[in-house]
Structure 1
Amino acid sequence: MKVDSSISVSEKTGGTPGDSSLDFTPQTSYSPLPKRRLRVVSFGRGRGETAGRRIPSINDEMGDTGKRIRIIVGSVQLEAELKNNKTAEGVYAALPVEAPVNTWGEELYFTLPGVKDYRETATTQVKVGDVALWGAGQVLAIFFGRTPMSMGPDPVPADRVNVIGRIVGDPTLLRQAVGATRIRVEKA
């Protein structure tokens, strides 16, 4: 259904010359959307061939790469699946890393220098289980619950982060690791 919201503007003149006011009256009408057909275009010879190159799909950026990382904090060990973006590739290439770990509410974070943040998915809207890079501070963050900025059940980072992956399994297991002093992240 197509919604056409327009505003009707009419001028009303008052009792004195030059005195006028505008009357804004919203008018809404509904009409069905026209049916559209999608066309599939083939580049190259034959069906689905692209001269040896793969055409990226709309889901590629948010899709996973099949690459996994292992996160070890205290006695807790989890895996995360990385997204298909350049920042995730940079983090993967920088592994293994072991560093002092910090907590901010139910977020673990640590410094991961030398990884370029391409800001493909820069956002302040993250979910429990997201793994993200905060490029400005060169910090890798793992969200497993609410943070001090949370207004609801979801964590809220202190600044925009680039989501690079997601914990496979139960991220709330990281609650058992609060108080740990070191974190290790390696290729799984």
Structure 2
Amino acid sequence: MSLRIRLTWPAGHTTATLDETPTSTALLGALPIVSTARTWGEEVYFDTPVSVPREDGARQVVAPGTVAFWTDGDALALPYGPTPVSRGEECRLASPCNLLGALDGDPRILATVRDGDPIRVELA
């Protein structure tokens, strides 16, 4: 079963399709979430009220547009390009993250998110 969420910020919006995982179930149960976007290289992340353990299969290097959950910071992490710890053009997260799904469409839309923007996550 796949579930869709919508992310909205002042300059744009996108949707994502999530797989059914313990972390995505916890995230969906907390929606809607309004948070403050932070940027780290070509990654957008923001705090959530969700706190879950790292799952089997957590990864640090992911494809652009992956929807990941950073368990070390209780944050949703949305990489769309290299971060300060990347090697070359890879999307390398700060530490292994739970994988929830992927953005629908071009992940480069996240380049319009500015550090400090309000960001809202809700069911699509």
Partners of 1:89 and 1:173 lie apart in 2 by 25
Give the number of the structure whose alpha-carbon radius of gyration is greater. 1
Extract unaligned runs of 5+ from structure 2. none
Show the 5 A alignment for 1:78-97: 78-97=14-33
RMSD: 1.4
* Residue 117 of structure 1: aligned partner: 53
Residue 158 of structure 1: how far off its partner (Å): 0.9
**Paired AA for residue 100 in structure 1:** T
Residue 180 of structure 1: how far off its partner (Å): 5.2
Q: What is the percentage of aligned positions where both structures have the same residue?
A: 35
Residue 183 of structure 1: how far off its partner (Å): 0.7
Extract unaligned runs of 5+ from structure 1. 1-64
Give secondary structure in 1 for the equivalent of 2:92.
coil
Partners of 1:104 and 1:180 lie apart in 2 by 12
Give secondary structure in 1 for the equivalent of 2:120.
strand
Give secondary structure in 1 for the equivalent of 2:91.
coil
* Residue 40 of structure 2: aligned partner: 104
Show the 5 A alignment for 1:1-188: 65-179=1-115, 181-188=117-124
Partners of 1:177 and 1:134 lie apart in 2 by 19
Residue 181 of structure 1: how far off its partner (Å): 1.6
Moved over 3 A (4+): none
Structure with greater proportional strand content: 2
Q: Give CA deviations for 1:14-73 in whole Å, capped at 9, x if unaligned.
A: xxxxxxxxxxxxxxxxxxxxxxxxxxxxxxxxxxxxxxxxxxxxxxxxxxx321000112
* Residue 59 of structure 1: aligned partner: none
- Contact 1:73–1:180 under 8 Å retained in 2: no
Change (3 A) 1:187 1:155: same
**Paired AA for residue 165 in structure 1:** G
- Aligned residue pair count: 124
Give secondary structure in 1 for the equivalent of 2:81.
coil
Q: Give CA deviations for 1:118-149 in whole Å, capped at 9, x if unaligned.
A: 51321112110001111121111111111111
Q: Give CA deviations for 1:127-182 in whole Å, capped at 9, x if unaligned.
A: 10001111121111111111111112221011110111100100101112234521
Partners of 2:56 and 2:4 lie apart in 1 by 19
Partners of 1:163 and 1:111 lie apart in 2 by 16
